Amino acid sequence: MARYTHGHHESVLRSHRWRTAENSAGYLLPVLRRGMTVLDVGCGPATITADLARLVAGPAGPATDPTSAGADSGRGADAADAGVDSGRGADAADGGADSGRGAGRADGGVGPAGRGRVTALELTPEALATGSAEVAASGLGNVDLLVADAHALPFPDDRFDVVHAHQVLQHVADPVRMLTELRRVCRPGGHVAVRDSDYAAFAWHPRLPELDDWLALYRRLARANGGEPDAGRRLLSWAQQAGFTEVTATSSTWCFATPADRAWWGGMWADRVTRSAVADQARAAGVTDRELRRLADGWRAWADSDDGWLSVLHGEVLARP
């Protein structure tokens, strides 16, 4: 089994909690419909999970506009606005079958009690605890949480309409086996949606040697843990090896270029490289505290650069089993 490189330090969760369905699963949103059953594998702090739950909540029908689901600002979304109240905009008659993509069912009988539900899983109870807290705070009543390994999912075949994993394949020991499992538990005509960053394709300005050294260190540690930090470019290949024949492969980016975004991203990585599991693993590999502080200073220098710019490339795959 691969070791999860990032760990669950506050500086890591700070990054993951910023994520929303809109900024991290935009390629999936067009196929979501109310009433669907969704599996979110490796949910982490479950902010994306919560957005997905808002989007599919209620009997079968088109998904709620993600912006009214709070997916733009992410946190603090009013669950009632997202149609979580079953009385809201839930027109089973149009059933979501209009798209012709098999993305909904006209019988409104998708999921327990005919309401959209999300099942979210994490590898350990500790990791699941952060997701549980987010779900509890959201007030959502259509999320089930459990501990499980993505390589061996505890579900029967054809169980879910949508199977989603964001930034997980890059961390697992056998991404093709994980994708084979995602395919197995997705019903025929459903969708498997995976997205992963590609570290070697990160691009930034200004050129700072500390950031080059940070990237080399991170990729070395991730590979030593059994992961593949340059996963984004490999998703299509892995999906083909897992037996998918109907695959749409795309890419999208996060971009940090405003003073506030730079302060957030640069400060977060300065903390991660000195205080999170990445720092512990670097020390165990012989990297000195002084060197880690130098890398952190590089991130702060980038954040303080008036012309600082950074883009995170992601590969995406939307596949039909």
Ligand X SMILES: C[S@@+](CC[C@H](N)C(=O)[O-])C[C@H]1O[C@@H](n2cnc3c(N)ncnc32)[C@H](O)[C@@H]1O
Q: Which residues pair with 320 in a beta bridge?
A: 246
Binding test (CB under 6 A) with ligand X, winner from 36, 145, 172, 319: 172
115 belongs to the binding site for ligand X (CB under 6 A): no
| 32-51 binders of ligand X (CB under 6 A) | 41-44, 48
CA 52 to chain centre: 11
66 belongs to the binding site for ligand X (CB under 6 A): no
Q: Smallest Cα–Cα separation from 321: which of 30, 39, 54?
A: 39
CA distance 249 to 189: 17
Query: Which 8-state DSSP code applies to residue 63?
Result: P
74 belongs to the binding site for ligand X (CB under 6 A): no
**Cβ proximity to ligand X, 79 vs 277, nearer residue:** 277
Q: Smallest Cα–Cα separation from 183: which of 153, 145, 144, 228?
A: 153
Pick left, alpha or beta for residue 114 (phi over 0 → left; psi -120 to 50 → alpha; otherwise beta).
left
Binding test (CB under 6 A) with ligand X, winner from 37, 104, 118, 122: 122
Q: Smallest Cα–Cα separation from 147: which of 118, 124, 172?
A: 124
217 belongs to the binding site for ligand X (CB under 6 A): no
52 belongs to the binding site for ligand X (CB under 6 A): no
At what angle are helices 277-284 and 289-304 packed, to 10 degrees? 140
**Cβ proximity to ligand X, 122 vs 210, nearer residue:** 122
CA distance 307 to 101: 44
Give the nearest residue (CB) to ligand X: 44
Inter-CA distances, 239 with 175, 245, 255, Å: 9, 8, 26
Residue holding tokens 């950074």?
310
CB of 311 to ligand X, least distance (A): 18
Whether residue 45 is preceded by a cis peptide bond, meaning omega within 30 degrees of 0, is no
**Cβ proximity to ligand X, 43 vs 90, nearer residue:** 43
Binding test (CB under 6 A) with ligand X, winner from 11, 19, 117, 162: 19
**Cβ proximity to ligand X, 59 vs 315, nearer residue:** 315
Binding test (CB under 6 A) with ligand X, winner from 150, 186, 211, 303: 150
179 belongs to the binding site for ligand X (CB under 6 A): no
**Cβ proximity to ligand X, 164 vs 187, nearer residue:** 164
**Cβ proximity to ligand X, 172 vs 313, nearer residue:** 172
Q: Which residues bind ligand X (CB under 6 A)?
A: 4, 6, 16, 19, 41-44, 48, 122-123, 127, 149-151, 166-168, 171-172
